Structure 1
């Protein structure tokens, strides 16, 4: 019990130290992780020194407690690594990372093999230990610590693409390095001859199996989110369990890489859960995981640093020489990958060009940390490795970690500054000036308005406004955005801004909980494709990606065929509802984007560019409205029911927001709020029910509404209905053309068509009819008719109609009378 109390006390004290070091790191402009490591080493050194001092019992007891902290390598890897990896992966934009997939995989996998080989071969002639031990050391120091690397690059404000490359590499790098480490460790401890083929097979199984496990685990986690019904604490608890479940399952039960499984699970869960969690739920989840990462990262650095005196042991001058060789070999190995292996990827168009400045920073920024120390510690715990072999590995690995943290880590910011990577590009500088000018002008005007409202003296207002006038003059003197950037670049910039804003608006609609998560996921995916299209191909790429969502998906076509040939309605009803909700949200988003363009982008990018952007948005809005109208015409009653359902869910969400506001303001108590919430939840469940889709049409009722047949009796209509033939029209198919001879009239059983006249367009839907004059005069068609969706048409051909009239001569006379009343002579 006493040991547990001491343990909790020490951990708590270390957390206090970690929290105090964060503002100090900002003040000193040093990475937080570097200070943590420095303090950890200092505490360990102080405890070792105090153990030798007599006469101060309290200090000696404290030193004994710190020195007595006992952690093995498994503790670091099992307790801290899953949380740190998962949090780093969770916050990564997978879509953006995939843009640099080739260089990331090169740095994360190929570079590990190169580093292991180069370091091992460089140390072998000098270290006095077997080659396999040198290779083992190479695999240990090939691990770039995710916590150290990502935190430092973010802290120093590195460019976004550079951070993305480092994030991707640090996530996947450990998996390959740890897999190689265990293969080499097994060779050393077993005493068997190395089997390269078996080693390669084990490595492939580790990586492939871990990837598959991570995907499956994350998919299961995402699938469980709807079951939690928006309870944020439950959602966070699920994510806290997920990395440890996949890590332990992979490492200890399935024999695959738990590190890879956790990294992949974080990426997949982060990509799939944003459309399942509400925006506030995601923000809460992100905040909790940021705190978890801070706690785990702080503790792992300090605790790992406390091991340094133990791992260094006795250090000789020869060890210092070997460390210099190790550092040089590691830098050479990294430079070989970046400067020799990376350019071919650019030539093969597998990667965008990476500048030499980026390559230099990536070479110098390969920081090591707790993972490397944990693997070195595991060597001391392994049986079958000689004492001198263990000493060489642990001393050099520990020295290398200290070198990368205290030398590379502290000089990384000056290196980035020296290479000019901290400066904005001319494009971003011009945007910055324009944004500043507009923002400062707004602030200056608001100062004047506030001063007038509160009746401050004019001299006070002028004194506050004067610095703003000077800053506005400074930024506008550099020239306007229109002068510095071409129209084409401003259009691309505007399209990218619209794509980013579209993503935000989709997430806002997700927060209103009016549509399902899979619809939001599809809209977010399309917004990402639009963003990529704008970046790579400008306006053409933007429009091409925007049109993708208009296509009928395979699931819809399959559901339509299932209904048409098997009479099964439920899948089609589901697909129609999803498509209706998708285009309804898309239309609302586009209307807001048009306002955003006028309100925000027009002052920033200029009138001409804003007008072009407006045309692009108007075209998208017209296409979405057309698709929505087509559904309304195809299934009018169902579309109306879906509209009511959408509005009802929106009203319920706003009702709940109102109750939450009353509760937060203290106007209603907890008991009343819970009662109101239960009522809203009950009505929400009712609103979630999808209305019934009725696709059955009465052929007799269809025929009866045609004026040409309104004199026929019910039994006569039934006889006429028997001669109708079914015909399928595909989307965008023009099945009637102007000038063609009319040979049939049509009834729309399902679907929607557009009648294209010279002066206007008319849309017809389920239950409507057209082309009846072909039965009377057989003259040329006066309009094109285009199918807007899949259409099932009932065709009444003129030949069949004439046979029907010959078999029913009494009906023929009445039809002739109706034709004469309309001023048309029927041609038999």
Structure 2
């Protein structure tokens, strides 16, 4: 084929892609629907031109269009890895983890249910072998929810809901293609009725093998990219190679799922790259992949649509009945998941509440597209698949895809409108009127100042001021009518605005490089939880999310167990260092929010709401300061090193700003500026390094600060440091239960605990101990001990405690004082030699 003709066609397709996006926005239709319609029209026109006698002038162009090397391998090996990899790079994975249950249900369980339902429905209503029916079910079970996600974003649907649908779109392709490969093998081997249980048993191995290949590939890629920190184009080139190599190795060498390998590679890069690559390099890399994915997504749709007229050439009347069977089975199977299983998960508190209108929109928005057509094309190209199965697979997959695009896609926005999802709630509507009134008042003040500064014509100023005053008067009047907003709703709206401004501030600090990209993911996830908590549960949801942001998570506790029981300190040291930096970053952000409350929020929601938000903000700052103080006591000097690092970053940012300003003022040329920026980049990379955290050494320094151990010699302190074990407990965790056996004594390194016995409570803080009375009185414990703050405990077993008691007079005095305070006769206290 003439290369000039092919180049002309490809360039023309890019023109079509460029025109299709604004056209889709103008017609209020999904972008994929416009591309599919245009592709169908191009393919049908090419076939018509070749078969008509009207003209032969366009025959070369038509033949070139129909002769394009469009094969299933082009879609699966070129376009699909690009789309999947970019989707993983753009996701907030830490927030995805919060919703992993509904994501997996929609992405994996729904695909399996749809495959089985469609397969058996076709088997019952046709003479097609079961293996081929299940193959068709796998082909059409993959959905493309991008249309409903884009509409949800445009109507301000809950972010969590859009995130769940995005997670589904990422993983359901992987699940469907893995099932496709499984049943494709049965069809090619001529096994008409495979045993479904044994077939699905191979599914986990395909996923596990692909995940391992993707993880290893991404780890190697990140390591190499980190070596090329100064060469951004080299990093981008390696990132482009990663998904394709992972896909090919998994498919051709390991025999696993290439799609899973690409997803695993993208997830690994997303999680590990922020800590290894410069923030700007990571931002540019994601922008590159956004452009590549946009082109790949558009080309895969339009090229697949070119094939539709060809795939439907042999359609028969009875095929329309089977297409209807596929449509009904697909919709019913998805409805079972959305209206049956998902509410059960919500009742079990494993999934967020998804309101019925949103579930209806998700059901109708389950469009099929290029992936379905690509898989069908792979079947029609295989010489090992019988001709009759090739024909029926191509027709059913293509017919079903056309139904979803032309019937569901064109009516999706209308359905959403009928469900009322595109309307503001009464609260938001009332709030918008108040916002308009406040904004217009600010605009009037600024315009008045501008007219004075520029000495404009007074007649024109008075005329425009009159018109503007009428609009402002109307806005104020309608805002005064919006008095039906309850205080709790105003508080919730104020908290949403505050958390949103917090998120914007984080992004600004990341751009300034005051906060590292690694920490940005953590604090942005916390800000998103604050927004969703306030939106769904008001003040209580916001406070719950705020407490979670400073609490010790499950992974932290697991790392503490590894350190305390098995001596594996690496994970705990890394997580503790992350916690230090996260708390410092949060403190930096929160101290800037007071001005926003006094400005925007006070003017919109009033003084009472502003004061309440100030109070909530003060509590958050207090909680962060308490958590930081506990870490400082536990690891003296480490927080200071992180603060020095922050100061160095700030100084470098200010230095870069000054160089840029002087360059713009023409004080020196491009050569000098380039040399200065290269030297600045070198120093910035050095400043990005985080100081190491030695848990064992820091624990020894912490022990020296205990007043109880002041009279011990250095050798005794070292032995004690080796004997003590560290235990971390979160707020509300029970440390000791009443009537439990007495075997250990606990020293509070940081935090606080509450002891409860016989209806009485008392609290102990840093530097104090508990658990010793039950040991020394030879009685079972009579108290429940619960942490009232994130607490670090040093635990000493009974034998070592008794030996320590014999050596330390300060410890004996503390035990004596504690006994008298609790009303215990010191005569009842027994040490190792029978006396205190």
Q: Deviations over 1:563-619 (max 9, x none)?
A: xxx9x9999999997766555433322211223322333223322222222123223
Secondary structure at 2:259's aligned position in 1?
A: helix
Residue number in structure 2 paired with 1:82: 81
Residue number in structure 2 paired with 1:168: 167
Match status 1:443 vs 2:446? no
Instruction: Provide the aligned C-alpha RMSD in A.
Output: 4.7
Query: Cα gap change, 1:645/1:20 in structure 2, threshold over 3 Å: closer, same or farther?
Result: closer
Query: Cα gap change, 1:381/1:130 in structure 2, threshold over 3 Å: closer, same or farther?
Result: same
Alignment of 1:41-120 (within 5 A): 41-54=40-53, 56-120=55-119
Query: Cα gap change, 1:575/1:787 in structure 2, threshold over 3 Å: closer, same or farther?
Result: closer
1:397, CA displacement in angstroms? 1.4
Secondary structure at 2:57's aligned position in 1?
A: helix
Alignment of 1:794-805 (within 5 A): 797=809
Q: Please, which of 541, 544, 564 is the counterpart of residue 541 of structure 1?
A: 544
TM norm structure 1: 0.76
Residue number in structure 2 paired with 1:708: none
Which range moved further: 131-140 or 620-629? 620-629
Residue number in structure 2 paired with 1:774: none
Residue number in structure 2 paired with 1:297: 297
Task: Judge conservation of contact 1:530–1:545 (CA < 8 Å) in 2.
Answer: no
1:59, CA displacement in angstroms? 0.8
Q: Deviations over 1:687-725 (max 9, x none)?
A: 5677899989xx9xx99xxxxxxxxxxxxxxx9979997
Q: Deviations over 1:477-530 (max 9, x none)?
A: 444699343333433444444444444434444444456555555545555565
Residue number in structure 2 paired with 1:132: 131
Residue number in structure 2 paired with 1:391: 391
1:642, CA displacement in angstroms? 5.7
Q: Distance in 1 between matches of 2:570 and 2:372?
A: 56
Q: Deviations over 1:2-45 (max 9, x none)?
A: 63332222111111111122222222222222121111111111
Query: Cα gap change, 1:377/1:538 in structure 2, threshold over 3 Å: closer, same or farther?
Result: closer
Q: Distance in 2 between matches of 1:148 and 1:166?
A: 10
Secondary structure at 2:594's aligned position in 1?
A: helix
Residue number in structure 1 paired with 2:204: 204
Query: Cα gap change, 1:284/1:448 in structure 2, threshold over 3 Å: closer, same or farther?
Result: farther
Task: Judge conservation of contact 1:36–1:301 (CA < 8 Å) in 2.
Answer: yes
Query: Cα gap change, 1:198/1:597 in structure 2, threshold over 3 Å: closer, same or farther?
Result: same
Secondary structure at 1:307's aligned position in 2?
A: helix
Which range moved further: 370-379 or 538-547? 538-547
Query: Cα gap change, 1:275/1:665 in structure 2, threshold over 3 Å: closer, same or farther?
Result: farther
Alignment of 1:781-792 (within 5 A): none
Q: Deviations over 1:444-489 (max 9, x none)?
A: 3222222222222234335545565455445544446993433334
Q: Distance in 2 between matches of 1:327 and 1:724?
A: 77
Residue number in structure 2 paired with 1:347: 347
Q: Distance in 2 between matches of 1:608 and 1:61?
A: 75
> Highest CA radius of gyration, 1 or 2?
1
Task: Judge conservation of contact 1:103–1:351 (CA < 8 Å) in 2.
Answer: yes
Q: Distance in 2 between matches of 1:169 and 1:467?
A: 51
TM norm structure 2: 0.76
Task: Judge conservation of contact 1:725–1:796 (CA < 8 Å) in 2.
Answer: no
Residue number in structure 1 paired with 2:615: 615
- Equivalenced residue count is 738
Task: Judge conservation of contact 1:47–1:64 (CA < 8 Å) in 2.
Answer: yes
Q: Distance in 1 between matches of 2:118 and 2:634?
A: 69
Q: Distance in 1 between matches of 2:681 and 2:525?
A: 29
1:371, CA displacement in angstroms? 0.9
Q: Distance in 1 between matches of 2:555 and 2:336?
A: 49
Q: Distance in 2 between matches of 1:415 and 1:163?
A: 17
Query: Cα gap change, 1:40/1:796 in structure 2, threshold over 3 Å: closer, same or farther?
Result: same
Residue number in structure 2 paired with 1:743: none
Query: Cα gap change, 1:220/1:307 in structure 2, threshold over 3 Å: closer, same or farther?
Result: same
Task: Judge conservation of contact 1:145–1:372 (CA < 8 Å) in 2.
Answer: no
Task: Judge conservation of contact 1:278–1:511 (CA < 8 Å) in 2.
Answer: no
Query: Cα gap change, 1:342/1:589 in structure 2, threshold over 3 Å: closer, same or farther?
Result: closer
Match status 1:184 vs 2:162? no
Q: Distance in 2 between matches of 1:570 and 1:723?
A: 27
Q: Distance in 1 between matches of 2:555 and 2:102?
A: 35
Query: Cα gap change, 1:73/1:574 in structure 2, threshold over 3 Å: closer, same or farther?
Result: closer
Task: Judge conservation of contact 2:531–2:542 (CA < 8 Å) in 1.
Answer: no
Residue number in structure 2 paired with 1:649: 649
Query: Cα gap change, 1:467/1:113 in structure 2, threshold over 3 Å: closer, same or farther?
Result: farther
Q: Distance in 1 between matches of 2:790 and 2:388?
A: 81
Q: Distance in 1 between matches of 2:114 and 2:751?
A: 65
Match status 1:12 vs 2:15? no
Which range moved further: 336-345 or 399-408? 336-345
Secondary structure at 1:58's aligned position in 2?
A: coil
Residue number in structure 1 paired with 2:325: 325
1:325, CA displacement in angstroms? 3.1
Query: Cα gap change, 1:613/1:380 in structure 2, threshold over 3 Å: closer, same or farther?
Result: same
Query: Cα gap change, 1:454/1:424 in structure 2, threshold over 3 Å: closer, same or farther?
Result: same
Which range moved further: 145-154 or 52-61? 145-154
Q: Point out where structure 2 has 5 or more consecutive residues left out of the alignment.
A: 706-710, 730-747, 753-764, 768-788, 796-803, 814-836
Q: Distance in 2 between matches of 1:469 and 1:582?
A: 48
Residue number in structure 1 paired with 2:826: none
Q: Point out where structure 1 has 5 or more consecutive residues left out of the alignment.
A: 704-718, 734-749, 755-762, 766-785, 802-828
1:295, CA displacement in angstroms? 1.0
Residue number in structure 2 paired with 1:490: 490
Task: Judge conservation of contact 1:137–1:397 (CA < 8 Å) in 2.
Answer: yes
1:219, CA displacement in angstroms? 5.3
Which range moved further: 153-162 or 193-202? 153-162
